[in-house]
Amino acid sequence: MSRQTHPTDQVNGTVPVIEIRDLHKAYGRLQVLRGVSLRAPRGHVVTLIGSSGSGKSTLLRCCNLLETSQAGDVIFEGEPVRWAGDGAARHPADRAQMRRIRTNLAMVFQQFNLWSHLTILQNVMEAPVTVLRQDRNEVERRARVLLDKVGIGDKADAWPAQLSGGQQQRAAIARALCMEPRALLFDEPTSALDPELQQEVVRVIKDLAREHRTMILVTHDMRLAADVSDHVVFLHEGRVEEEGTPDQIFRAPRTDRLRQFLSATMVA
Q: Write the burial class of residue 170 (CB in 10 Å: 0-12 exposed, 13-18 middle, 19+ buried).
A: buried
Quote the DSSP letter at residue 70: S
Q: Please list the residues that pair with 21 across neighbouring strands.
A: 73
User: How many Å separate Cα 208 from the centre of its chain?
Assistant: 12
Give the β-pairing of 79-80 and 215-218.
Answer: unpaired
Instruction: Report whether 250 contacts 227 (CB < 8 A).
Output: no
In this predicted structure, the answer to whether residue 41 has a pLDDT above a threshold of 60 is yes
For strand 105-108 and strand 183-187, is the pairing parallel, antiparallel, or unpaired? parallel
Residue pLDDT, tens place only, 124-159: 999 999 999 999 999 999 999 999 999 999 999 999
pLDDT tens digits along 210-257? 999 999 999 999 999 999 999 999 999 999 999 999 999 999 999 999
The Cα–Cα gap between 32 and 55 comes to 6
CB atoms within 10 A of CB 86: 9
Q: For residue 180, what pLDDT is reported?
A: 97
Residue 268 scores a pLDDT above 70? no
CATH of domain 7-264: 3.40.50.300
Contact between 27 and 88 (Cβ < 8 Å)? no
Q: What is the pLDDT of residues 154-201, one digit of tens each?
A: 999 999 999 999 999 999 999 999 999 999 999 999 988 998 899 999
Q: Nearest CA to 215 among 185, 254, 180, 245? A: 185
Residues 6+ apart with CB under 8 A from 102: 64, 65, 66
Show the beta-strand stretches assigned E in 5-128: 18-27, 30-40, 45-49, 71-76, 79-80, 83-84, 91-92, 105-108
E-assigned strands of 41-78?
45-49, 71-76
Write the CB contacts of 29 (distance below 8 Å, at least 6 apart in sequence): none
Name the pTM for this structure: 0.91
pLDDT score for 49: 98
Distance, CA of 68 to CA of 66 (rounded, Å)? 7
Quick one: pLDDT at residue 195?
87
Interval 113-128 mean pLDDT? 97
Q: Is the pLDDT of residue 3 over 60?
A: no
Domain ranges in the chain?
7-264
pLDDT digits (tens, 9 = 90+) for 71-86: 999 999 999 999 999 9
Collect all residues with Cβ–Cβ distance below 8 Å to 76 and sequence separation of at least 6: 17, 18, 101, 104, 105, 182
